[in-house]
Amino acid sequence: MTWPTYEIKRHFLARMPKDQDILQTIEQFCTTENIHMATFSLIGAVSKVTYGYYDQRLKQYVSFTKEGSFEIVQCTGNVSLLNGSPFVHAHILVADHLGRTTGGHLFSETLVFAGEIELKELIGDIQKREQDVETGLNLWTK
């Protein structure tokens, strides 16, 4: 088992734009800035959230959308290439008005109310996603 290594190039910390989708915001930013690989972490709040669960037997995602105020307790993920474009893979955890938490795989239709992101651009042997027959997922090849 060998794991590829990377160097941090640019290290961003920024306020996320309000009422925008998390995945789209990050993918557009990476496309504009020519970032091919990154990791990020985000806290804040959303006014709408969509997360999913991967059924390992049926090899398909089920997703849930909830509208309303939720804290983003944590949203962590990475950026790598899928079909030559920056693609975000992230998981999100949200808390409701009683502190109860739910979460899973982050999907679009997750709208920022307020958010602070730390994103580290990585350079090196860029990870690419390819269809993995065994799991049915688009996985890194290394």
Pick out residues in 93-112 that bind a copy of itself (CB under 8 A): 93, 95-105
Cα–Cα distance, 126 to 36 (Å, whole number):
7
Tell me the closest approach of the beta carbon of residue 83 to a copy of itself, in angstroms.
18
Sole binder of a copy of itself in the list 43, 81, 82, 111 (CB under 8 A)? 43
CB–CB of 127/142 below 8 Å? yes
Cα–Cα distance, 3 to 89 (Å, whole number):
19
Residue 47, number of CB atoms within 10 A of its CB: 15
Sole binder of a copy of itself in the list 89, 107, 110, 128 (CB under 8 A)? 89
Tell me the closest approach of the beta carbon of residue 84 to a copy of itself, in angstroms.
19
Sole binder of a copy of itself in the list 12, 48, 108, 109 (CB under 8 A)? 12
32: DSSP letter: H
Sole binder of a copy of itself in the list 22, 23, 90, 107 (CB under 8 A)? 90
Cα 45–Cα 73–Cα 76 angle in degrees, nearest 5? 100
Q: Is 7 in the site for a copy of itself (CB under 8 A)?
A: yes
